Amino acid sequence: MSNGRIYQWVVIGVLVVSSSASGDEPYYRRTYRVTVHNQGNIQTVLNNSGQVGAWSTAVDPLTGASFIRTIYPRNSGADWFGVSNPVIGGIVDRDTFVTWEFLPDQPPDNEFRYESINAESPLYSPSAHSEFDILCTYNDSISDPIELGFRNHHPLNVRVKQRSMAWSASNIDDFILVDLEISTFGTSRIQDCYVGLDGLLSVKYIADEGYGNTNLLGSLSGFRSVTTCDIPDSIAVYYGMNTDGRPSAPKQWNAESLLGALGVVILKTPEDAPVSFNWEARINPAMGYWEYWMPWKRGDARRVDPTISVDLAGDPALYAVLSNKYHAYDQMFSAVDHSTEGWLPPPGGASKLAEGAEPLYLLGAGPFDLDPRQSVHFTYALVGGDNAHVNPTDFENLWNPYQPDVYYNSLDFTELMTNARWAKWVFDNPGVDTDGDGYFGKFHVCDGDTQWYEGDGVPDFRADLPPPSPKLKVIPSTGSLAIRWNGYYSENAIDPFTKIKD
């Protein structure tokens, strides 16, 4: 692939590079590791430099099973690429720097650690949040272009402690939460700092060649449901999906169809900073060579040429995208002229772009200042939702790049948005006063009943798990087994979300 950032996601084996370190500088022995989240409906490979959905094959440390990249839904063969990678940019001494080239931290933090809330597990830890927490630490501290692979780089001297969390219960198995604790160990203040994510949300069937070039990116918000009293939900999901769901002949769904959507939900930003949404994709104009296209506002000269890949345009251009506070239109609407909304007119080849490409997303949140030794949290969820494509003939019958609304309205994002809401609730339990200040969050009153839909803003990382199992005692005798149990704690358990014994 020609995208420089994607090259960095190909990790084969173990690479070790040594150099000296002193004082507060991180240890420079670079040992890459990969591991797997395989608890729920999203099966994904992580590496110890921050990539979730790494372009690698890894072995599940619990089962020994081997996985590649990201599979969603579970065991479906829907193979997703380059899901998320942290990006941090800011101004240091009047210079603008951006990094997405993190490297594993010093031992022992370059190794993965595992924790579980399951008291019966050998991984049990009172600090765990989920059935399977994966922890690692990585940093941005070197400028060696040989080690970084392909370009000069000025480090921001930041360290990221990452905790990813997964569950297996049926109502909470379609997302993985990822919390990043970001701190600086340098002596300089990072001003107007932005933190975000970039990656691909492209999918292909696992046995197919190529990288999945018929995909779409977009965003969803204002979703209405019975759960929210038919009031628009404030949660936003940045999603990717296959263009048509890959129907088989004769125009039917089969086991290889790509019906689902995979998205990212931003749950916590430093200082509750707003989130920008941008995307970029390659287009093929009549001249026969690749150009890039990113929706860009007219009159915004911070980025010189939006047809050049943001990866190749340098730190100031990448920072301009990270900090632009845009909310780009969906890729499906690329051939529609958005000039009246302030955007540049559609590029040549926009109709082809609108019906599928290999788009890259970039999310950014800020600004905030990061002082030496200060730390902030950035938390997101990787969320899946199946059955976004409804009928196998919808794309064939309804698609028009100049009137995409007809096809767009045939899609069904109910499962994706429902799972995103569960991710939000697990992160911050609605109706729970976590810090004891008397504020329990936001609620609606529907038909006389109070329905909490937001928490108090303090993370809980607590799932709506089944009630505790009854205490069992089995008494054997000749020809029979007597089973005795005490269900007191099971029957009186309080649901953390509904606040009732349900």
Closest residue by Cα to residue 177 from 453, 466, 428, 365: 428
Residues above pLDDT 90, as percent of the chain: 60
Question: Looking at the predicted structure, is the pLDDT value of residue 105 above 90?
Answer: no
Query: How do residues 181-211 score in pLDDT, each as one tens digit?
Result: 999 998 899 999 999 999 999 999 998 877 6
Which residues touch 498 (CB under 8 Å, ≥6 apart)? none
Question: Looking at the predicted structure, is the pLDDT value of residue 422 above 70?
Answer: yes
Contact 88, 197 (CB under 8 A): no
- Residue 232: its pLDDT value, please? 75
- In angstroms, the Cα distances linking 413 to 40, 46, 61, 139 are 20, 26, 33, 36
- In angstroms, the Cα distances linking 230 to 222, 237, 421 are 10, 18, 14
- Residue 281: its pLDDT value, please? 94
pLDDT bucket at 502, cuts 50 / 70 / 90:
low
Which three-class secondary structure string do you get for 280-307? Answer: EEEECCCCCCCEEECCCECCCCCCCCCC
Residue 67, H or E segment: strand 66-68
Question: Looking at the predicted structure, is the pLDDT value of residue 2 above 70?
Answer: no
Question: Looking at the predicted structure, is the pLDDT value of residue 220 above 90?
Answer: yes
Q: Classify 232 in phi/psi space as left (phi over 0), alpha (psi -120 to 50) or beta.
A: beta
Q: The tokens 């109502």 sit on which residue?
A: 171
Query: What is the residue-averaged pLDDT of the chain?
Result: 87
Handedness of CA 85, 356, 327, 97 (dihedral sign): positive
Higher-confidence position of 470 and 427: 427
- Residue 487: its pLDDT value, please? 79
Cβ atoms within 10 Å, residue 258: 27
Contact 195, 270 (CB under 8 A): yes
pLDDT bucket at 12, cuts 50 / 70 / 90:
very low
Q: Mean per-residue pLDDT for 343-369? A: 94
Distance CA 206, CA 204 (A): 6
Cβ atoms within 10 Å, residue 447: 6
Is omega for the bond preceding 73 within 30 degrees of 0, making it cis? Answer: yes
Query: How do residues 120-141 score in pLDDT, each as one tens digit?
Result: 899 999 999 999 999 999 999 8
Higher-confidence position of 466 and 434: 434
Distance CA 267, CA 193 (A): 18
Distance CA 352, CA 291 (A): 13
Distance CA 502, CA 492 (A): 9
Query: How do residues 386-411 score in pLDDT, each as one tens digit?
Result: 999 999 999 999 999 999 999 999 99
- Residue 82: its pLDDT value, please? 80
Question: Looking at the predicted structure, is the pLDDT value of residue 100 above 90?
Answer: no
Q: Tell me the sheet residues that pair with 140.
A: 158
Question: Looking at the predicted structure, is the pLDDT value of residue 9 above 60?
Answer: no
Contact 129, 461 (CB under 8 A): yes
Question: Looking at the predicted structure, is the pLDDT value of residue 25 above 50?
Answer: no
Q: Mean per-residue pLDDT for 30-42? A: 90
Handedness of CA 350, 354, 359, 361 (dihedral sign): positive
Estimate the share of the chain in helix, then strand, then coil, as percent rounded to the nearest 5.
Answer: 10, 35, 55
Instruction: Give the three-state DSSP class for 46.
Output: strand
Q: What is the pTM of this model?
A: 0.87
Question: Looking at the predicted structure, is the pLDDT value of residue 259 above 50?
Answer: yes
Q: Mean per-residue pLDDT for 218-243? A: 84
- In angstroms, the Cα distances linking 235 to 60, 392, 410, 424, 454 are 32, 29, 21, 8, 10
- Residue 488: its pLDDT value, please? 78
Question: Looking at the predicted structure, is the pLDDT value of residue 229 above 50?
Answer: yes
- Residue 30: its pLDDT value, please? 59
- Residue 22: its pLDDT value, please? 37
Say how many residues make up the chain: 502
Distance CA 440, CA 429 (A): 9
Q: The tokens 């297996």 sit on which residue?
A: 168
pLDDT bucket at 446, cuts 50 / 70 / 90:
confident
Instruction: Give the three-state DSSP class for 346.
Output: coil
